[in-house]
Each structure stands twice: as structure tokens, then as C-alpha cells.
């Protein structure tokens, strides 16, 4: 089975070709135009998708060394995401499936961040059902009980900002360019995670909150900069390490509670923030520390990519869950 997958939910145009559960190609065109605006500009994003989609798909096919005629199905991201961005991918996928007369498969982007673990990769194990997924990305922070490929329940989620936003907004306070998450990670690796303490939010149950942390960081920085204008540049590593440490503790506290409540000890992480080196090490260490089995995705399947859309497409192909051209994109989508 050859699946062409298209992902265009936010600001990256991505295409991948899978042969069953193996990735033959995984191409991403990042839209750097948003950096100067400090966030994704929806109108610019959809326009850039229009420019990128044909070259990106052609590159994916070429890299996989297959022709369009050999494809078994086309999978695309139905949502959630920016409507103008989603429409570019869905329209293209619909047209191509009609032209080639092959099945069309709609994929939930958040399912894909979780099910990326089912891509066949040397050195990476696949979780068995049921497992817990911690999805940490630019728009979501969720603990999901995954019973089967398409049977998932959200058992905890953020009540305000997503963890990716917590990273990006903290970075902005520090004067770092957008998206700041990877930069916080980079500086954090050189700093002392216990240098500064930030209070953790008190949210009942398995839900999260990150907006209070952002405000605490803002007030802390304002106070310190008033005392010493060079405070940020002199302490950037320690500040980033401390912020990252606090975020990781918030996530780990909730994961521990989720394990206690569900009795499930298999934990998979997914989403852009699972690229974070501190989170990756902490999760791996949790195997020894708590007796969990943890799954950390291959780096290229953390931030938005089409390979993860392709693996869900493959599972839906096997289940024969197909759409016709009347399928609509959804900016918000429930599980
Ligand atoms: P969603 O998946 O919720 O729709 P999205 O697709 O926009 O959101 P992703 O691409 O999955 O988001 O993740 C992007 C987020 O990941 C950004 O907030 C970015 O800062 C963050 N991120 C990426 N790498 C790192 C890192 N190494 N450390 C911390 N955050 C990171
Ligand atoms: Fe995403």
C-alpha cells in the first residue's frame, strides 16, 4: 500500500509517502515569513501553502521514487488547524484523489501526533493498547487514554494556554524570536534548572494551566530587569533552564496522577514540544524511576509533519474508512 499524505494545518506545508507503515519520504517546507510577526499570520500561511504544496508533493514523490499512478490512497489533515491553511491541503487532496480515482482519507491532526509512534522505525518501539498519550504542541496540551487507533478519550487538558505557547510566550518575554520553544531548549541545556523558582499552578485533576506561569515569569523578569538592565543576557541559560524545569515538573506531576488513576504505565509523548530535550530525557528516565514504559518519537515526527498523517492514513486504509469529495475541513475537531 502506498499512501501520499498531506499536512497543512498551520504554517508548515508537508507531504510524505508511506509504503505500509514505513516512511519512504517526509518533506516539510517551513514558512519563515511568520518570524518577523512574532506568530503565525493566517492569511500569509494559506498563501504560502498554495505556493509550496505542488513542489512539496512532487519532492515527496520523487524522494520516494514512485509515480502518482502507483499511489493507493491520499490522506490529508482535516483539522484542527487554521481554516485557510487546511483548505489548501484538503482541496488538493480531493482533486488528486478524483483525478487518480483512488480513496481519500481524512485525518485528525491530534490523532496523528499520537499515532506517529506506529511508524515503523528501527530503534523505536510501538506502544500496545491501551496507553496514555501526552500531546504537547503549539495549540494543545492533553492527556489521552488511547484504547485503540480510533478510540481515544481526553482525560485531561489545558484550561488556558498550551504548553507550546508557554514556551513561546516565555521566550517572547526574554526577547527571543518566534517560535521561541527550540531556543529556550537550547539555552536550558547550558543552565541550572534550579537557579530560579516559579510557582506551579494548582489545577485539580488531570487538567493543566499555563497562563499563570507566563504571568509569573513576566513579573519576575520585569522586577529583575528594573534592578539590573542586563539581567536577561547575563542569566539567559539559567532562566531558560528554570522555566523548562518548571514546565517539565507540571507535566510530570499530571502524568504521575494519570498513571495512578488509570493504572496504565505505558506513556507516549507527541506534538511539537516533545522535541524538547529536557522532556525527552525526563520521560526516558521515568522508565527506571517509576517503572513506566515510555515512548519518545523520532525527532522528525515531533513537530508538524506529513509522515504522521500518513500512518493514520494507512490504518484508515486498512479499516476502509474513506471519504468522498463532500468532506469538509474543521478548524476545531472533537476526538
Ligand atoms: P497543534 O499540533 O496543537 O495544532 P502546532 O501544530 O502549531 O499545534 P506543533 O508543530 O505540533 O504545533 O508544535 C509547535 C510548538 O512546539 C511550538 O510552540 C514550538 O515552540 C514548540 N517546540 C518545538 N520544538 C521545541 C523544543 N525543542 N522545546 C520546546 N518547545 C518546542
Ligand atoms: Fe501539530
Contact 60, 16 (CB under 8 A): yes
What's the CA-to-centroid distance between 22 and ligand 2, angstroms? Answer: 20
Q: Which of 127, 1, 156, 117 has the alpha carbon at shortest distance from 70?
A: 1
Q: Give tens-digit pLDDT for 151-178.
A: 999 999 999 999 999 999 999 999 999 9
- ipTM of the predicted structure? 0.98
Residue 21: burial class (beta carbons within 10 Å; 0-12, 13-18, 19+): middle
**What is the distance between the alpha carbons of residues 119 and 261, in angstroms, rounded to a whole number?**
29
Query: Ligand 1: does its nearest atom lie under 6 Å from the Cβ of 137?
Result: yes
Query: For residue range 11-67, what is the model confidence (pLDDT) as tens digits?
Result: 999 999 999 999 999 999 988 788 878 888 898 999 999 999 999 999 999 999 999
Q: 310 CB under 6 A from ligand 1?
A: no
Cα–Cα distances (Å) from 148 to 13, 116, 121, 124, 218, in that order, read 28, 14, 20, 19, 41
Grid cell, residue 272, equals: 511539537
Question: Is the pTM value of this prediction over 0.80?
Answer: yes
Distance 137 CA to ligand 1 centre (A): 4
294 is in an annotated binding site: no
Name residues with Cβ closer than 5 Å to ligand 2, which is an ion.
137, 304
CA distance 320 to 202: 44
**Contact at 8 Å (CB) between 212 and 220?**
no
- Report whether 263 belongs to an annotated binding site: no
Ligand 1 centroid to residue 271 C-alpha, Å: 6
Local structure of 107: helix, strand or coil: strand
**72 has a pLDDT exceeding 90:** yes
The whole-number pLDDT of residue 30 equals 87
Amino acid at each position: 500500500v502506498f499512501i501520499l499524505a498531506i499536512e497543512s494545518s498551520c504554517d508548515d506545508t508537508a507531504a510524505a509517502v508511506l509504503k505500509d507503515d514505513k516512511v519512504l519520504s517526509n518533506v516539510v517546507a517551513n514558512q519563515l515569513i511568520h518570524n518577523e510577526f512574532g506568530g503565525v499570520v493566517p492569511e500569509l500561511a494559506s498563501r504560502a501553502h498554495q505556493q509550496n504544496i505542488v513542489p512539496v508533493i512532487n519532492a515527496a514523490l520523487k524522494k520516494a521514487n514512485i509515480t502518482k499512478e502507483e499511489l493507493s490512497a491520499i490522506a490529508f489533515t482535516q483539522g484542527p488547524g487554521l481554516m485557510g491553511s487546511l483548505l489548501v491541503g484538503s482541496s488538493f487532496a480531493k482533486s488528486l484523489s478524483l483525478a487518480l480515482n483512488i480513496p481519500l482519507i481524512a485525518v485528525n491532526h491530534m490523532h496523528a501526533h499520537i499515532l506517529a509512534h506506529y511508524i515503523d522505525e528501527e530503534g523505536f518501539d510501538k506502544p500496545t493498547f491501551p496507553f496514555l498519550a501526552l500531546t504537547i504542541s503549539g495549540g494543545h496540551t492533553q492527556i489521552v487514554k488511547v484504547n485503540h487507533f480510533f478510540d481515544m478519550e481526553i482525560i485531561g487538558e489545558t484550561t488556558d494556554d498550551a504548553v507550546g505557547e508557554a514556551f513561546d510566550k516565555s521566550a517572547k518575554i526574554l526577547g527571543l524570536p518566534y517560535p521561541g520553544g527550540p531556543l529556550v531548549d537550547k539555552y536550558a541545556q547550558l543552565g541550572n534548572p534550579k537557579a530560579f523558582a516559579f510557582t506551579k499552578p494548582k489545577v485539580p485533576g488531570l487538567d493543566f494551566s499555563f497562563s499563570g506561569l507566563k504571568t509569573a515569569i513576566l513579573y519576575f523578569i520585569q522586577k529583575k530587569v528594573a534592578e539590573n538592565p542586563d539581567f536577561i543576557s547575563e542569566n539567559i541559560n539559567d532562566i531558560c533552564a528554570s522555566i523548562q524545569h518548571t514546565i517539565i515538573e507540571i507535566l510530570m506531576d499530571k502524568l504521575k496522577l494519570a498513571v495512578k488513576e488509570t493504572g496504565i504505565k505505558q506513556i507516549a509523548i507527541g506534538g511539537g514540544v516533545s522535541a524538547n530535550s529536557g522532556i525527552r530525557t525526563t520521560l526516558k528516565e521515568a522508565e527506571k524511576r517509576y517503572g513506566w514504559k515510555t515512548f519518545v518519537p523520532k525527532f522528525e515526527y515531533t513537530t508538524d509533519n506529513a509522515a504522521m498523517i500518513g500512518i493514520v492514513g494507512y490504518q484508515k486504509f486498512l479499516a476502509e474508512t474513506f471519504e468522498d469529495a463532500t468532506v469538509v475541513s474543521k478548524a476545531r475537531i472533537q476526538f
